[in-house]
Chains A and B, each alone.
Chain A
């Protein structure tokens, strides 16, 4: 049984280009089914704008099932909107009431330069991944499955951090524009697994230092954890800080670093 939600007012950030001056544009959605996802609601609005001969609102989206990390949006001052543990694509209009006014803004961070309207360039995350988000694998025949024994709790913990979809909500939600949760999730994912041990310390060093070039610093507010669509715990940040400390202080020979 679907219901209809009436009279939604949208305040949407419009900006024609990186250097242009942006502003909020108000649109009214007279009625919409509560089964529509937030992005479908924007699609419907865009259809109308195009029909009226206006320019559609530009926003990022792709899989629309919460696994690709492409959608973004700051909805009413919360990254990915008011629903915990989901990306914007999994937020549905049933979370809103008749007559609600909803403000939509892009992610804001110097590392995420705005492209247009609600779309930002998140390739600073790619720089962090490039610097250490990999393992060294031997070429040759495919190894047997489960050749490397991994304790179940370790596999589970690594999976918890591997859930990160790289959407950037942590940076968007952080009052300091820090990317510690993203970087730490990537570090924790590989550093917890046996396959990641060879580069463990060079990885954390490189990734932390690349992160440093683009983002702010962590002041332990915990906003990132609250905004994360995968609910990754800030415990991974502590793990990254520990590994970085070890990478800096422990004997370089022990850590097999250059």
Chain B
């Protein structure tokens, strides 16, 4: 008969019979680690979609100032005149913020759970066999990308650290002035430290995606011998496309390809 050891997470020995908690379905699901991983994966998919379209949209930079500025104007006036200007964009942003907050909360609470699961660390060094740099550094790559996003918003969305943001420009054939986005991007990347931070953060985002995009399949239980071998290729390919696309912008500005 094993001794009864009680940790603050409940008795380790005893019986498995316990009362079923009655609470709303989604909260009940989210209260389990597996449920949190579903949230992690689903919000991850949503944000991957954003990152991909953000990168594709920014490729307009190579088509010139007018193309990029008109694309930005298109986003700000999505579905106008059906919806008032800016509304659809803010609804999309709301969804993005929600996914971001959920992803962070799930990561934070799972990390806490994992720390509790091994309060006494191994006293000798571990010899990891499969865990790679990406999977071992998800928390760090995630946190640095978070710091970058804060900077990125202050820089190119709110213009707190970029005096060019908010300038308007009128192109030939247009009836109104639109935001001069292109000029502010160039002004941002002309600062070498900012451009370097951008490059580093995007490489870390790629590393985060390398593990995250693969993990989605495991976490959601999308497992099928027919496509399993493509999961790694998909994650690597997706991460590579994002990194190459995003890193090309500051490099192009620094190299003088676009100015």
Contact = CB atoms under 8 A, between A and B. Distances in A.
Is A bound to B?
A: yes
B126 interface: yes
A240 B37 CA distance: 13
B118 A131 contact: no
Given A110-B7, A123-B2, A105 B130 contact: no
A103 interface: yes
Interface in B139-175: none
A173 B122 CA distance: 10
A175 B119 contact: no
Contacts of B226: none
Contact of B135 (A24, A210, A220): A220
Contacts of B9: 110, 213-214
Given A77-B125, A123-B2, A225-B130, A241 B37 contact: yes
Interface in B5-32: 5, 7, 9-10, 12-16, 25, 29, 32
Interface stretch (B72-80, B183-191, B212-220): B212-220
B34 interface: yes
Nearest to A246: B221
A92 interface: no
Interface string B107-129: 00010011011111111111111
A77 B126 CA distance: 4
A163 B32 CA distance: 27
A111 B124 contact: no
Contacts of A131: 16
Nearest to A221: B131
Contacts of B215: 219-220
Contacts of A127: 12-16
Interface string A32-54: 00000000000000000000000
B131 A130 contact: no
A157 B2 CA distance: 33
Given A176-B117, A241-B221, A212 B33 contact: yes
Contact of B117 (A177, A209, A222, A243): A177
B53 interface: no
Given A103-B124, A223-B128, A242-B221, A123 B13 contact: yes
A36 to B, nearest CB: 22
B177 interface: no
Contact of B221 (A103, A206, A243): A243
B221 A238 contact: yes
Interface in B94-118: 110, 113-114, 116-118
B126 A217 contact: no
Given A105-B124, A109-B118, A217-B114, A130 B15 contact: yes
B218 A237 contact: yes
Interface of A: 11, 13, 18, 22, 24, 74, 76-78, 82, 103, 105, 108-111, 113, 115, 121, 123-124, 126-128, 130-131, 173, 175-178, 206, 208-210, 212-223, 225-227, 234-235, 237-245, 248
18 contacts: A11-B124, A24-B123, A77-B122, A77-B127, A78-B127, A82-B127, A113-B5, A113-B7, A127-B12, A173-B129, A176-B118, A212-B34, A213-B10, A214-B9, A218-B37, A219-B114, A221-B135, A235-B228
